[in-house]
A and B are shown apart, each in its own frame.
Chain A
């Protein structure tokens, strides 16, 4: 029986780690299980699925990785850059498929996207220039924007947040907006970090791609609502928590494809790292009205989903 292991930072009771697609259609894990079954892999019959979580705690990362490797898995699925780096550090032989990585080449995970080499491959997320796009979109929602706060945890955000900050600052310079990084290192810091942008001059926030923020998305969204700070998020998960708007790649679940190929003998390093091809804009008009925002046609025209 083959062993497919998965390492995530999310708590195991998180909606995103649910296996059932019926309970949670957006669940990445559910998509994997279903995709594998379509390719002839039935859990409990010819493969075993082992899920471990770090709960976002760096100190528990190493233990979880060791536990997983002790299972002698045929392939390890990792959630984000932090876990990928930890597993890669522990093994150079067990195939690794990462679910999201913003800069796998920059992080040194792969040699190139087309030909990764080594024992790792996976899927990229938003690219660096997406920072400018987020600023443009939040500016369209808040035309009188003077400053923009960038929320991230330097420990879990790619390159300590700088991966996106460059394009944000570039766009801000063109449009005359000042960029204020709002790094947070602990969940308790989120409230305070957002609160600071509730005061004039008119401010909005950009939540970066950050596993920390994904884990603590409820807190972030709640704080944004509480302090009436218009915020744009990188994933649609935040919309489910009551966020104003999100713009990011549609995470088409393809990891089942790669797990299947690896289980059948293809080397992980031969499989190219896949980039997202679709991006979706979600807007919650109710939240917008709460914030007294008037959404322009250009924004509404672009929106893939407008929630009331």
Chain B
């Protein structure tokens, strides 16, 4: 996703750079060319215009000169006439001369010769009859006066017969009485001259007199109309003496055509000669020049575009190759080589690219090799670690097995040790019959003390072994915390006093409460700690303080046991909680003991999810802090012995140990239950057959017959009301419980018997008499599951299944036994599986689980183990089926009824 976006961002639109270069170069070339051409055209235009105007001015000047010459010629002719000496000519000669002049000069329409006084002597005309010697006085005429005043007189233009422009020209002769010659000049003859002036191809020249009247024009008729042009701005300006503009004037001529106009003044006459050239012709060369320049510009632009294309391509192609190369390298294609042959920096860049790609390629190769190496190393290491782990696992399993074996050994050994010790102690007590001497009694006392110590040692070892085997479970119930602490203090105080120590008990008021927990274990911890303190305190005092913090759902108990004993070195603070460890070897020698007390205390504390810590200074004393969280009591306060039993129960106490019997009887008496005592299994069975009991308290370890056997026999008696059998044993391991359950014993009271535990066991059952079988069966059968099945299948179907299970399970148990005997574990596993699955149908969970264990473990079991397992299965099957019978019979009976 990211990659595609990146690529999208990085991808340059094709040709953008190319177009950029192309446009830039074209624009540059265009600008240069356009500016150059523009200036060129502009200056050329100006120059041409100036040139044109100059040419036109010259033409105008030339035309003016021609017109001036035309008039000047006539003037010269009449001047010639006027300067003929008078004595050489008569009137007739004068007339002849005038006629000759008329022949010579067609423009002269009439010549008059006046004498010095202004009298007309001869008048020769083309249109009227000549007059000779008329003596008409013309001295006041402007011509005469003008001729006399200056060398020549140029009269104003006048129009004869409305259309013919004429002018009077007069000159004076020389001498004393000079004649004056007056000539009337027909200005239409200037037309020939004006029409002959070539101004370009289509241009023209025309003449305007001093008043702005058009005198001569190539279009004759215009002149004949006496056109007054003084209203035209340019003519007006010219008449006012403003010189013609140097560049010529652009205007509209008489026919409305746009022309370039200029003018010149005819010397002496003051006439204006206008020269006009149509713009179309005047600017034709300029336009042609612009056209040529534009054409050239276009050609050059085309060349510039071609060159730009070539240059842009040359510049962009290598860059595009580089871009594509970079993209391919970016996408991982490192095998690419860029081929740029421009012979410049771009080629160098391309080479650098290639080198970079090569380096990258090498780096990748190295990296890959290293990855492969590292991977194989890792695999090796992993295999090694797995092997080590397996080894460790095996070692651990071996260690665990060894530890279990050790625990079992310890349990068996200590149990086996205790029985003879009890015997020894009994014999020692029997020895003191009062007839012993002082020395004997002392020896006896010593022996008894030694025996007790030995028993304590065995007990400790036994307990520790149970803890070590994690077989110890908490037996919780409600109890008074203050009573427990005080009882422990009372128990230990004599010992302390015995050693000359003071014992200080400081209980906080908060401990006056009922809590839910395991009072036996807690008591044990306390006794251990106090006993420990007494043991290692030669003098001084023992202090015990207790406080309880009440929380929402639990009570946090803090108990501190302090002493002024020998103390513990800091490096030993943790070690003393380890198994069989004392502060040092000399201590063991001096104080004795197994070194198990603190280890047991700590293990029990941990079992209760509490903490046990120590603070100590060698030589000063030690403080052991216990912090345990206990549950809240259900309701009310268990007042223990003070509370009368809900009802009296008939109890058969079975124990081969008379002490135990006595203690037990005393306790039961105190609890308000009448008690019968049986000292061995056989008498117990006999008593149970002969008398009715509600409860049988059965010691499991008896010489003739163990408790389980006795219980089985009692069951087989088929008593009308089967008494509940409560086992009394120190062995609380799951296996032991299982074995007891197999014999129909669900309740166990641990040794040594505590009165509260005893009451609870008896009364709990008594109060829930009808539910007792159910609870017993509950351990074997998942009642909820069974109820669900009943609901699901119906009672009839369940009854049918029940019968079926009865038959098949019996058959399977036989098969299992056979398989065990023949030593066929596979067969054993298969039958175990079949039995388990059949059992699971009606919720025989215990049987089901046990079968599964056997099924899984069968292949590894030895033949004796197999036979043992087969027996156990049979027993469990029997118990489970009887429990199921109990549960289903009433229902079946009800359904039958």
A residues in contact (CB < 8 Å) with B: 112-115, 124, 127, 129-130, 132-133, 135-136, 167, 171, 174, 254, 257-258, 261, 270-275, 277-279, 297-298, 301-302, 304
Q: In chain B, residues 97-156, which have Cβ atoms closer than 8 Å to a Cβ of chain A?
A: 99-100, 102-103, 106, 125-130
- Cα separation A270 to B225 with both chains bound (whole Å): 9
- Cα separation A275 to B99 with both chains bound (whole Å): 22
**Cβ of A165 to closest chain B Cβ, rounded Å:** 15
Our pick among A113, A171, A271, A277 for the contact of B162 (Cβ within 8 Å) is A113
List the A side residues contacting B220 at CB < 8 Å.
Answer: 254, 257, 274
**Cβ of A300 to closest chain B Cβ, rounded Å:** 10
A127, B127: Cβ atoms closer than 8 Å: yes
Our pick among B102, B128, B130, B164 for the contact of A277 (Cβ within 8 Å) is B164
- Interface presence of B186 (CB below 8 A): yes
- Cα separation A113 to B96 with both chains bound (whole Å): 34
Sorted nearest first, the 6 A-B pairs with minimum C-beta distance are A136-B129, A272-B224, A113-B162, A132-B129, A113-B163, A129-B128
- Interface presence of B558 (CB below 8 A): no
A272, B225: Cβ atoms closer than 8 Å: yes
- Interface presence of B221 (CB below 8 A): yes
Query: Nearest A residue to B189 by beta-carbon distance?
Result: A277
List the A side residues contacting B878 at CB < 8 Å.
Answer: none
A133, B95: Cβ atoms closer than 8 Å: no
**Cβ of B228 to closest chain A Cβ, rounded Å:** 11
Further contacts, 15 of them, CB under 8 A, given A133-B125, A133-B129: A114-B224, A114-B225, A115-B225, A127-B127, A129-B127, A129-B128, A132-B129, A270-B225, A272-B163, A272-B221, A272-B225, A275-B164, A297-B96, A298-B99, A302-B103
List the A side residues contacting B103 at CB < 8 Å.
Answer: 301-302, 304
List the B side residues contacting A167 at CB < 8 Å.
Answer: 128
Most buried by A among B106, B128, B130, B220: B128
**Cβ of A260 to closest chain B Cβ, rounded Å:** 11
- Interface presence of B852 (CB below 8 A): no
A272-B163, A278-B106 given as contacts; is B128 within 8 A of A132 (CB)? yes
B96, A274: Cβ atoms closer than 8 Å: no
7 contacts between A and B (CB under 8 A): A270-B225, A277-B186, A298-B95, A301-B96, A301-B100, A301-B103, A302-B102
List the A side residues contacting B770 at CB < 8 Å.
Answer: none
Per-residue interface assignment for chain B, residues 745 to 767, with 1 indicating a CB less than 8 Å from any chain A CB and 0 otherwise: 00000000000000000000000
Q: Is the interface of B mostly helix, strand, loop or mixed?
A: mixed
List the A side residues contacting B95 at CB < 8 Å.
Answer: 298
List the B side residues contacting A302 at CB < 8 Å.
Answer: 99, 102-103
**Cβ of A59 to closest chain B Cβ, rounded Å:** 35
Query: Nearest A residue to B106 by beta-carbon distance?
Result: A278
List the A side residues contacting B125 at CB < 8 Å.
Answer: 133
- Interface presence of B159 (CB below 8 A): yes
- Cα separation A167 to B189 with both chains bound (whole Å): 27
B127, A130: Cβ atoms closer than 8 Å: yes
Query: Nearest A residue to B92 by beta-carbon distance?
Result: A298
Q: In chain B, residues 153-192, which have Cβ atoms closer than 8 Å to a Cβ of chain A?
A: 159, 161-164, 186, 188-189
List the B side residues contacting A270 at CB < 8 Å.
Answer: 225
Our pick among B129, B162, B186 for the contact of A112 (Cβ within 8 Å) is B162
A113, B102: Cβ atoms closer than 8 Å: no
- Cα separation A302 to B126 with both chains bound (whole Å): 10
List the B side residues contacting A297 at CB < 8 Å.
Answer: 96
- Cα separation A270 to B99 with both chains bound (whole Å): 37
**Cβ of B270 to closest chain A Cβ, rounded Å:** 23
List the B side residues contacting A273 at CB < 8 Å.
Answer: 163
- Cα separation A31 to B407 with both chains bound (whole Å): 165
Query: Nearest B residue to A171 by beta-carbon distance?
Result: B129
List the A side residues contacting B871 at CB < 8 Å.
Answer: none
List the A side residues contacting B129 at CB < 8 Å.
Answer: 132-133, 135-136, 171, 174
Per-residue interface assignment for chain B, residues 836 to 856, with 1 indicating a CB less than 8 Å from any chain A CB and 0 otherwise: 000000000000000000000
- Cα separation A208 to B821 with both chains bound (whole Å): 189
List the B side residues contacting A113 at CB < 8 Å.
Answer: 161-163
- Interface presence of B535 (CB below 8 A): no
List the A side residues contacting B650 at CB < 8 Å.
Answer: none
B127, A279: Cβ atoms closer than 8 Å: yes
- Cα separation A174 to B134 with both chains bound (whole Å): 11
**Cβ of B70 to closest chain A Cβ, rounded Å:** 15
B163, A274: Cβ atoms closer than 8 Å: yes
B161, A301: Cβ atoms closer than 8 Å: no
List the B side residues contacting A115 at CB < 8 Å.
Answer: 225
**Cβ of A280 to closest chain B Cβ, rounded Å:** 10
Query: Nearest A residue to B223 by beta-carbon distance?
Result: A272
- Cα separation A15 to B100 with both chains bound (whole Å): 34
- Cα separation A133 to B130 with both chains bound (whole Å): 8
- Cα separation A167 to B100 with both chains bound (whole Å): 25
- Interface presence of B226 (CB below 8 A): yes
- Cα separation A31 to B268 with both chains bound (whole Å): 39
A114-B226, A274-B163, A297-B96 given as contacts; is B128 within 8 A of A133 (CB)? yes
A127-B127, A257-B220, A277-B189 given as contacts; is B164 within 8 A of A298 (CB)? no
A271, B164: Cβ atoms closer than 8 Å: no
- Cα separation A221 to B65 with both chains bound (whole Å): 49
Our pick among A112, A133, A257, A274 for the contact of B127 (Cβ within 8 Å) is A133
B161, A127: Cβ atoms closer than 8 Å: yes
- Cα separation A274 to B188 with both chains bound (whole Å): 11
List the A side residues contacting B102 at CB < 8 Å.
Answer: 302
- Cα separation A271 to B219 with both chains bound (whole Å): 11
**Cβ of B440 to closest chain A Cβ, rounded Å:** 185
**Cβ of B818 to closest chain A Cβ, rounded Å:** 149
- Cα separation A271 to B92 with both chains bound (whole Å): 43
B225, A274: Cβ atoms closer than 8 Å: no
A132-B129, A133-B127, A302-B102 given as contacts; is B224 within 8 A of A274 (CB)? yes
List the A side residues contacting B161 at CB < 8 Å.
Answer: 113, 124, 127, 275
List the B side residues contacting A114 at CB < 8 Å.
Answer: 159, 162-163, 224-226
B163, A298: Cβ atoms closer than 8 Å: no
- Cα separation A271 to B102 with both chains bound (whole Å): 30
A279, B221: Cβ atoms closer than 8 Å: no
Per-residue interface assignment for chain B, residues 1 to 42, with 1 indicating a CB less than 8 Å from any chain A CB and 0 otherwise: 000000000000000000000000000000000000000000
Query: Nearest B residue to A258 by beta-carbon distance?
Result: B221
Query: Nearest B residue to A174 by beta-carbon distance?
Result: B129
- Cα separation A297 to B99 with both chains bound (whole Å): 10
